[in-house]
Amino acid sequence: MARNKGRMASLGKKTVEKTNLELSDEEANVLLTTTVDLKSLQPQVGESEIYDQLIEQVQQATSNNENLAQLKSRIETLGSEGWKLAKKIIELIP
Residue 44 CA, chain-centre distance (Å), reads 18
Q: How many domains does the chain have?
A: 1
Percent of the chain residues topping a pLDDT of 70: 68
Each residue of 26-57: b (16+ CB within 10 Å) or e? ebbeebbeeeeebeebeeebeeeeebebbbeb
Residue 86: alpha-carbon gap to chain centroid: 5
Give the dihedral of Cα atoms 37, 52, 67, 73; nearest 10 deg.
Answer: -150
pLDDT of residue 38: 67
Instruction: For residue 53, tell me if it sits in a domain.
Output: yes
Give the pTM. 0.52
Residue 68 is assigned to a structural domain of this protein: yes
Q: Is residue 69 part of a domain?
A: yes
Residue-wise pLDDT for 34-52, tens only, equals 676 767 777 677 667 888 8
Which structural domain, as residue segments, surrounds residue 55? 21-92
Q: Does 66 reside within a domain?
A: yes
